[in-house]
Amino acid sequence: MARAPATLRCSPAREARSPPAAEAFAFADLEVERVRIGELEVAVVTPRTLYAMKRDTVRPRDADDAARLRRAFRLEEG
């Protein structure tokens, strides 16, 4: 059975408050890496992907998270 591509989007209420240029991230476009946690192997987005998802949002918390990710992982701005 074919599945529709999943897209990360905010809720309709939050979307109404977001700037019109806000982007959605499709799961297929996310850069992921495998991480072992005990006996489990899980896929997580890379720090660079998480930074890209947080850097241009309107929430102050996301801006703070983006700045911390940039410093911690020595990511380029932009």
Tell me the domain boundaries of the chain.
44-78
Using DSSP, state whether 45 is helix, strand or coil. strand
Q: Tens of pLDDT along 35-48?
A: 999 999 999 999 99
Say which residue, 50 or 3, is predicted with more confidence: 50
Tell if the pTM clears 0.75, that is, is over it.
Answer: no
pLDDT of residue 65 exceeding 90, the answer is yes
Provide the strand spans (E) within the chain.
7-8, 25-26, 32-37, 40-45
Is 78:63 a contact under the CB 8 Å cutoff? no
Q: Tens of pLDDT along 1-45?
A: 444 445 445 445 444 454 444 467 888 889 999 999 999 999 999
Identify the pLDDT of residue 78: 66
